[in-house]
């Protein structure tokens, strides 16, 4: 089994951080990480040119490590960049990290050692677990994370506190098998966690440090709604019973109450018919989704 790791790093307009990141990268355990793939997501600054120069320099310095630079011809998103890097990677173990220095190379080294040596590839995903607070994350992100964490934990009967850490190591084969279910945008990491949980893959979380990002966040307000939509649709697909049953029970109870009243009054009202149709459609939808999941 290949005991090396490919590190995939998505990049978009990070020219001010590239120099500092490469300095930090010197701390990387290159006995484990032997391939580093940067994926430039059609940056509008000179990130790509800086990465070209740095990759050339570091290829000469660290001759046992392969530095690769890819470029998307159109801005397609964080998740798409990671998928693109994974597709061309040489190893079956993939690590991802952001270039904005919110995550530490030392934590990457710890998780890499845990994934390969301590756990001997027993886990399909080992993800960093951050302490999210107002000092390192905006309020709107905290609210979004809280909503998603609460709903996802309810659906999976888990107590996970960080579904979308951008520092993680995972099995390439299993990632590629389900990557069509994962977002091309910022919610890739959350959708990966949910997908791996749904497939009953082995997941482990490891506490890591998390700092306020340097530079400006690339997350736009509309990305929040994309994020919520993606996660809700995944949960609806994978855990339809958990989503639909809490809605179906009160609707079914309301139908029975109105039906009883209509029978007593010997008059079938429109609202009773509407409630019947609504409950019937929910039940049909529930069974259709369940069948789809059984044959996928």
Which H or E element spans position 4?
none
Q: What is the DSSP letter of 208?
A: -
| Spatial CA neighbour of 7 closest among 119, 126, 167, 186 | 167
Report helix angle 221-238 to 270-295, nearest 10: 80
CATH of domain 5-238: 3.90.550.10
Q: In the predicted model, what is the mean pLDDT of the chain?
A: 90
Residue 68, token pair as written in the block:
């690769």
Q: How confident is the model at residue 295 (pLDDT cuts 50, 70, 90)?
A: low
Per the document, the length of the chain is 296
121-171 pLDDT, tens digit each = 999 999 999 987 777 677 777 877 888 889 899 989 999 999 999 999 999
Say whether 71 sits in a helix, a strand or coil. strand
Can you tell me the distance from the alpha carbon of 198 to that of 30, in angstroms, rounded to the nearest whole number? Answer: 33
Residues 6+ apart with CB under 8 A from 82: 8, 10, 39, 96, 188
Report helix angle 221-238 to 188-198, nearest 10: 10
Instruction: Please say if the pLDDT value at position 277 is more than 60.
Output: yes
Identify the bridge partners of residue 126 per DSSP, sorted by sequence position. Answer: 169, 204
Instruction: Please say if the pLDDT value at position 97 is more than 70.
Output: yes
Q: How confident is the model at residue 215 (pLDDT cuts 50, 70, 90)?
A: low
Report helix angle 18-25 to 47-61, nearest 10: 20
Q: φ and ψ at 259, to 5 degrees? A: -65, -40
pLDDT score for 294: 67
- Among 110-114, 154-158, 222-226, the least confident range: 222-226
The verdict on pTM exceeding 0.75 is yes
Say whether 252 sits in a helix, a strand or coil. helix
Q: For the chain, which residues make up each domain, given as ranges?
A: 5-238, 240-295
73-88 pLDDT, tens digit each = 999 999 999 999 999 9
Instruction: Please say if the pLDDT value at position 220 is more than 70.
Output: no
Q: Cα(first)–Cα(last) distance of the chain, in Å?
A: 29
Report helix angle 188-198 to 78-88, nearest 10: 60
230-265 pLDDT, tens digit each = 888 888 888 888 888 888 999 999 999 999 999 999
19-57 pLDDT, tens digit each = 999 999 999 999 999 999 999 999 999 999 999 999 999
pLDDT score for 146: 86
Q: Taking residues 87-96, what's their average pLDDT?
A: 97
- Among 1-15, 64-78, 217-231, 239-253, the least confident range: 217-231
| Spatial CA neighbour of 199 closest among 215, 177, 167 | 177
Q: Is-contact 196 152, C-beta < 8 A?
A: no
């Amino acid at each position: 089994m290949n005991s090396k790791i490919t590190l995939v790093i998505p990049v978009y307009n990070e020219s001010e951080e590239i120099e500092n990141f490469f300095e930090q990268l010197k701390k990387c355990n290159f006995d484990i990480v032997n391939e580093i793939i940067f994926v430039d997501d059609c940056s509008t600054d000179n990130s790509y040119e800086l990465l070209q120069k740095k990759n050339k320099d570091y290829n000469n310095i660290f001759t046992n490590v392969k530095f690769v630079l890819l470029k998307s011809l159109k801005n397609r998103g964080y998740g798409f960049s990671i998928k693109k890097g994974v597709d061309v990677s040489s190893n079956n173990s993939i690590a991802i990290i952001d270039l904005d220095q919110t995550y530490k190379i030392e934590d990457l080294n710890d998780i890499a050692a845990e994934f390969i040596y301590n756990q001997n590839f027993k886990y399909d995903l080992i993800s960093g677990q951050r302490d999210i607070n107002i000092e390192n994350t905006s309020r709107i992100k905290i609210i979004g994370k809280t909503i998603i964490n609460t709903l996802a934990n309810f659906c999976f009967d888990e107590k996970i506190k960080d579904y979308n850490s951008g520092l993680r190591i995972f099995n390439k084969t299993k990632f590629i098998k389900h990557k069509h279910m994962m977002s091309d945008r910022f919610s890739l990491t959350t959708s990966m966690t949910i997908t791996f949980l749904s497939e009953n893959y082995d997941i482990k979380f490891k506490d890591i440090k998390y700092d306020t990002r340097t530079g400006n966040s690339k997350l736009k307000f509309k990305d929040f709604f994309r994020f919520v939509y993606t996660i809700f649709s995944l949960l609806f697909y994978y855990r339809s019973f958990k989503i639909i049953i809490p809605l179906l029970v009160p609707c079914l109870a309301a139908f029975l109450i109105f039906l009883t009243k209509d029978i007593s009054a010997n008059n079938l009202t429109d609202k009773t018919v509407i409630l019947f149709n609504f409950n019937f459609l929910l039940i049909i939808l529930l069974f259709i989704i369940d069948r789809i999941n059984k044959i996928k």
